[in-house]
Copies of this chain bind each other. A is one copy, B any other.
Amino acid sequence: MTPDIIPPGPLVALDYVGIAVFAVSGALVAAEKRQTLVTFIFFAVVTGVGGGTLRDLLIGAPVFWVNHNMTLLVCLSAALLVWLFTKARAAEKALLWFDAVGLAAYAVYGANKALRYGVAPVPAFAMGVLTACVGGIIRDVLAGEPSILMRPELYVTAAALAAGLFVGMAIFGMPVLLAALIAGLAGFALRGAAIAKGLSLPSYQG
C-alpha cells in the first residue's frame, strides 16, 4: 500500500464526477430546506466526500481529501453554483439525477480502489455499494429526510449492479477503463429507469 494523495490511473475522472455530483446533491437538499450558504457548503462537503471517506477508512487508505485543497474547493464551488443558479422548483428532480450519477460513479471507483488495495472480491464489491450509498444516506439523515434507502424504487440495486459488474469484469481481466465504462453506464441506466419509470424490485410480503 502506498499513500494515495492523487488517485492514479484512468478513473480519476470518475472520482471527481462522484465528488462534484454528490456535492451538488447535498447543496440541493440544503436548497429544498431553504438553508443558508454556510449550510449549503456543509452539506455539499459532507455528501461529496462522505462515501469516499468511509471507503478509505475501511480499506486503510489515507483519507483522500486530507492532503490537498482541491477536493474541498470542488465541493465549495458546487455549493456556490447551486446557491447562485438553482431554482427551488427544479431542485427536487435535479437532486435525483445528480444522485444517480454519483451513485454509479462511486460504485465503480470505490470497488476499483478497494481491489487496488488488495481487498477480497466480495468486500470490494460491498465497498463499492456501501460507499456509493453512504453520501446520500448521510445527507438524508442530517436533513431529517426519510433515507433514500427506504424509498420504493431501485437504489442500492443500481449500485450493486455497477459494483458487481465491475468486480466481475476486473477479475476476468477486462481492461479497467472499459469495465468501468460498462459497469458505470449499466448502474446509471438502471437507477435512471427506476427514477423515470418508478421501476422497483418486488417487496417483502411476509
Which A residues have a C-beta under 8 Å from some C-beta of B? 30-31, 33-42, 45-46, 53, 57-60, 62-63, 65-69, 71-73, 83, 86-89, 91, 114, 118-123, 126-127, 129-130, 133, 137, 141-144, 146-147, 149-150, 154, 156-157, 160, 200-206
Contact = CB atoms under 8 A, between A and B. Distances in A.
A122 B34 CA distance: 26
A86 B204 CA distance: 10
A59 B69 contact: no
Contacts of A65: 123
Contact of A206 (B42, B57, B87, B160): B87
A119 B71 CA distance: 13
Given A41-B156, A45-B126, A88-B204, 6 more contacts: A36-B200, A37-B201, A57-B63, A65-B123, A67-B123, A89-B206
A78 B185 CA distance: 31
A42 B129 contact: yes
A71 B126 CA distance: 11
Nearest to A40: B204
User: Which of A66, A88, A137, A156 has the largest count of B CB atoms less than 10 A from its CB?
Assistant: A66
Contact of A38 (B53, B88, B201): B201
Contacts of A41: 156
